[in-house]
């Protein structure tokens, strides 16, 4: 009955999330259902205890990263800097490589610190124009954007400033540059598999005589237009990466560690928080003309700050639900089953994070719940924490992209493509690639011991 209660609660979570009901309603309701059916604790205890504790712990640990990322993304999007970078890449590659241009433009933005959803909105108009000019079906746009935004720049590449990459740092004692070799190998596989699939789909469409599918005259974007200097556009992104790298090294110095020891020690998210702050201040200075006067600046800053609330609370509430799940007898059975498998430890890491991510439809949820519930047990297996960090994130970034994933639903809606037409390409680029990458990374680590 315990397992059935958990499955029913998870089913309700997926169905209600997919139906568009706010996670602010879905999460506590699902927690109440789980507590009622499982009988492991009273409903009120579940809601005010593990649910709220796990939710607010996540907000406490990652709010500043979400705030900085949302504000920086808003500045890059509103001032035209993100668009300028995308246009530059498109102009250099040309319509013959429109697919590659869209993937790379999206990847540059997200690896540079622009939030996933800002990148989607910034890239889509350009993708429409490029695909129309190259006569590539519009239904392939979601797959191209997903490959650039939701995969290797989110979980695999070392140093990515996306919030999920900071998740394991404090529990595992790693940095966001963890496992640079494994991460790079994973990124190459994800990118390679995704591009092979998308290019094959383009060739299939050409053979069938399928074109863009809409009247080109209605498209408002000209990929040949003039825009902001690419140097100005990319400077804040490069600055964030370099400052992040320098501060990561600085906070590892013995004198710095000793200084902060009486105050609770160094928090491994500090370097990313400060790097985002530097990037924000630099972008505000560089793009002051594009921003306008004081009122426009205040409006931009307020909008950027407010846009951080929905992403962090959606993720935190999933983590909160996971906090209740961890207290159930059914989860104890799942934990014992995974940890009892007669397979190398990293496979257990991958199975746990990918399974939970698939159930919750959230890579951050999958990794976060797995870390909270099993982090200490993973470390006790004697595996290099860097390998755990990177394999866990890449694995969580695979099955998270099933059809009920909120990011996938939003992407398809923004692109105006139905799930029936667009999900296959999103699924292959964001599920198959990461799964293959995760398996390869595990084999490389188990064989050579490198991270």
CA dihedral 58, 64, 67, 72 (to 10 degrees): -130
How is residue 428 written in tokens? 């292959």
| pLDDT per residue as tens digits for the range 308-346 | 888 788 878 888 888 898 888 888 888 888 888 889 999
Spatial contact of 185 and 422, defined as CB atoms under 8 Å apart: no
Phi, psi of 40 (to 5 degrees): -75, -25
Task: Say if residues 378 and 388 touch (Cβ distance below 8 Å).
Answer: yes
pLDDT of residue 214: 64
Q: Are 106 and 148 in contact (CB under 8 A)?
A: yes
Residue numbers of the chain with a pLDDT score lower than 70: 1, 18, 214-227, 404, 406
Task: In whole angstroms, give the CA distance from residue 197 to residue 194.
Answer: 5
**Per-residue confidence (pLDDT) for residue 307, from 0 to 100:** 81
pLDDT value for 396 = 92
Distance CA 280, CA 240 (A): 9
Q: What is the pLDDT of residue 128?
A: 83
Q: In this predicted structure, what is the pLDDT of residue 220?
A: 46
Exposure of 7 in the CB half-sphere (CA atoms within 13 A): 5
Q: In whole angstroms, what is the distance from residue 155 CA to residue 282 CA?
A: 26
pTM for this entry: 0.80
Under DSSP, the state recorded for 431 is I
- Integer distance in angstroms from the first to the last C-alpha of the chain? 42
Q: What is the pLDDT, as a whole number, of residue 25?
A: 92
CB under 8 Å, gap of 24 or more: what pairs does 310-313 form? 311/66, 311/70, 311/115, 311/117, 312/58, 312/59, 312/62, 312/63, 312/66, 313/23, 313/24, 313/59
Dihedral, 441, 443, 445, 450 alpha carbons, nearest 10: -80
Tell me, what's the pLDDT at 315?
78
Contact 179, 387 (CB under 8 A): yes
Query: How far is the C-alpha of 312 from the C-alpha of 335, rounded, in Å?
Result: 27
Pair 384, 445: CB distance under 8 Å: yes
Q: Is 146 left (phi over 0), alpha (psi -120 to 50) or beta?
A: alpha
Residues found in the chain: 451
> 71-118 pLDDT, tens per residue?
988 888 888 887 888 788 878 887 788 899 999 989 988 898 877 777
């Amino acid at each position: 009955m315990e397992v059935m209660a958990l499955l029913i609660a998870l089913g309700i979570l997926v169905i209600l999330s997919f139906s568009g009901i706010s996670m602010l309603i879905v999460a506590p309701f699902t927690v109440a259902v789980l507590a009622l059916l499982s009988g492991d604790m009273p409903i009120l205890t579940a809601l005010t205890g593990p649910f709220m504790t796990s939710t607010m712990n996540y907000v406490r640990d990652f709010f500043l990263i979400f705030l900085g990322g949302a504000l920086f993304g808003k500045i890059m999007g509103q001032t035209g800097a993100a668009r300028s970078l995308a246009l530059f890449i498109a102009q250099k590659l040309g319509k013959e490589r429109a697919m590659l241009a869209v993937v790379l433009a999206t990847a540059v933005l997200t690896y540079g610190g622009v939030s996933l959803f800002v990148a989607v909105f910034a890239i889509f108009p350009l993708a429409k124009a490029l695909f129309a000019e190259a006569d590539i079906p519009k239904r392939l746009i979601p797959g191209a954007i997903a490959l650039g935004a939701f995969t290797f720049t989110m979980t695999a590449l070392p140093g990515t400033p996306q919030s999920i990459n900071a998740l394991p740092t404090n529990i595992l004692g790693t940095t966001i540059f963890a496992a640079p070799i494994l991460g790079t190998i994973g990124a190459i596989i994800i990118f390679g598999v995704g591009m092979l699939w998308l290019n094959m789909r383009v060739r299939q469409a050409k053979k069938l005589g399928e074109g863009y599918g809409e009247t080109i005259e209605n498209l408002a974007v000209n990929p040949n237009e003039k825009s902001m200097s690419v140097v100005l556009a990319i400077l804040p992104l490069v600055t964030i990466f370099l400052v992040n790298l320098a501060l990561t090294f600085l906070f590892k110095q013995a004198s710095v560690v000793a200084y902060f020891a009486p105050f609770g020690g160094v928090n491994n998210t500090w370097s990313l928080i400060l790097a985002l702050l530097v990037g924000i201040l630099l972008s505000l200075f560089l793009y002051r003309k594009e921003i306008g006067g004081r009122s426009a600046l205040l409006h931009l800053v307020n909008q950027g700050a407010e846009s951080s609330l929905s992403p962090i609370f959606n993720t935190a509430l999933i983590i909160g639900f996971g906090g209740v799940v961890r207290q159930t007898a059914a989860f104890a059975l799942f934990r014992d089953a995974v940890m009892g498998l007669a397979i190398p430890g990293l496979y257990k890491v991958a199975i746990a994070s990918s399974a939970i991510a698939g159930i919750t439809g959230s890579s951050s949820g999958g990794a976060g719940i797995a870390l909270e519930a099993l982090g200490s047990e993973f470390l006790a297996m004697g595996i290099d924490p860097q390998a755990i960090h990177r394999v866990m994130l890449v694995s969580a970034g695979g099955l998270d992209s099933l059809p009920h994933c909120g990011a996938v639903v939003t992407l398809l809606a923004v692109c105006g493509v139905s799930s029936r037409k667009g999900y296959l390409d999103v699924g292959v680029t964001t599920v198959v690639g990461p799964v293959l990458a995760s398996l390869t990374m595990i084999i490389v680590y188990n064989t050579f011991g490198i991270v």
